[in-house]
Amino acid sequence: MTEAEKALAGLLYDANYDPALIAERGEVKYRLQIYNTTDPRDLVQREKQLKALLGKTGEQILIEQPFYCDYGRNIAVGENFYANVNLVILDCGKVTIGDNVFIAPCVGIHTAGHPLDVEQRNRGLEYARPVTIGNNVWIGAGVQILPGVTIGDNSVIGAGSVVTKSVPENVVAAGNPCRVLKTI
């Protein structure tokens, strides 16, 4: 089993020293460097680059520059997706984003985590847990979404939240840690 396969299976894998993963991340960083320096007025070229980078997209997709991710191949976004500047997606595990999702500036979506065991951590091992964001979701500025979280359809996550646990559908949730404030 490759290190990438281990990551997608939720097993500990070598993220720091595996030559194949390092090479793949290097290639993706190179492609992102090109994307992030593409003329911001050239929406056709930007969309073409995103569709080539990401695992799956809808027809309408716009991610403002700069954008950062680890692999791209593990990211699936639905129709009518918009993300503002400084989106970071650490897609060691699957990241699935539904239709009509809007993401404010400086949001981080993180599938990667590290063992508490210092020896495992020092060997470069980590784990990945999938993140799922439903349809019609709005993620506020500066939100950090941690590994294994699901955000339900039609929900709003308030600015500055740290989402450590899954959020149900049809709610407004905010805070550190993020918690449900009201039903929509």
* Residues classed as catalytic: 114
CB 11 within 8 A of CB 129: no
Residue identified by tokens 């905010």 is 174
Torsion sign, CA atoms 162, 143, 121, 74 = positive
Tell me the C-alpha distance between 51 and 47, whole Å.
6
Tokens of 32: 């992102």
Provide the 3-class DSSP secondary structure of residue 136.
coil
For the chain, the farthest-separated pair of C-alpha atoms sits apart, in whole angstroms, at 48
